[in-house]
Amino acid sequence: MIPYGTGRPLLTPVDRDVSRRTARLRSLGLGERPDATFDSFADRVAEVTATPFSIVNFIDEKRQFFAGLHTPAGARGRSGLGAAAAGRGDRYLARDHGYCPHVLVRRKALVLEDVCDYPRFAGNPVVDEIGIRSYLGAPLIDRTGVALGTVCAVDTVPRAWGRAGLDTIKLLAREFVVQIECREGGHR
């Protein structure tokens, strides 16, 4: 799809639920600051999927926010995951970067064993800027039906995730939604 007047493909899908999601994130107090519990969950995702990066990602009107983040020790970079890994605390990424916005709008898990095999995804800035080559992500759909964000695992090399990877990331997303609902109910 080429938006009128731009002459280039639309890489990030139109997000019709962004206002509703943003309001829900604000009501839950999510998407503004890192959370040690969410970082621990991201560590677990990285361990289970054997990946160098994993993220609990909330997406609002302006940006993506990595509320939970696992990065390899000593990783370096100028922006996004690399900057966070370098210890700058930069947990933000533009809305048009990465694959989580696609998962959010589709409301379905996404498996990209090698992003370069998909022209739509190979041109994403995270390929050149961060070095992402494979992606496994699932939406975080809460009890109200709002897709709040995603949980994902990424690697800098192609990965054969297969059905097992898809099932794993979907299970982890459901598990994380339970954590959010427990927090909402005051059961920290």
Per residue in 90-146, pLDDT (tens digit) is 788 888 888 899 999 999 999 999 998 988 777 777 777 778 889 999 999 999 999
CATH number at residue 130: 3.30.450.40
Cβ–Cβ under 8 Å, residues 16 and 107: no
Q: Is the pLDDT of residue 173 over 50?
A: yes
Give me the domain span that covers residue 115. 18-183
pLDDT band at 2 (very low <50, low <70, confident <90, very high): very low
Per residue in 63-95, pLDDT (tens digit) is 899 999 999 874 433 345 555 444 445 788 888
Distance between CA atoms of residues 165 and 172, nearest Å:
11
Cα four-point dihedral sign 150, 70, 154, 74: positive
43 within a domain of the structure (yes/no) = yes
4 within a domain of the structure (yes/no) = no
> Phi/psi at 59 (nearest 5 deg)?
-125, 120
- In the numeric block, which tokens belong to residue 63? 């940006």
11 within a domain of the structure (yes/no) = no
7 within a domain of the structure (yes/no) = no
Per residue in 5-38, pLDDT (tens digit) is 334 454 667 888 999 999 999 999 998 888 899 9
Indicate the helix (H) or strand (E) that contains 178. Answer: helix 162-184
pLDDT band at 186 (very low <50, low <70, confident <90, very high): low
Angle between helices 162-184 and 36-49 (to 10 degrees): 160
1 within a domain of the structure (yes/no) = no
Could you give the number of structural domains in the chain?
Answer: 1
pTM of the model: 0.84
Helices (H), 2-157: 18-28, 36-49, 80-85, 100-106, 119-122, 125-129
150 within a domain of the structure (yes/no) = yes
8 within a domain of the structure (yes/no) = no
Residue with tokens 């998909």: 118
> Which residues lie closer than 8 Å to 82 by C-beta, 6 or more apart?
75, 76, 129, 130, 131
114 within a domain of the structure (yes/no) = yes
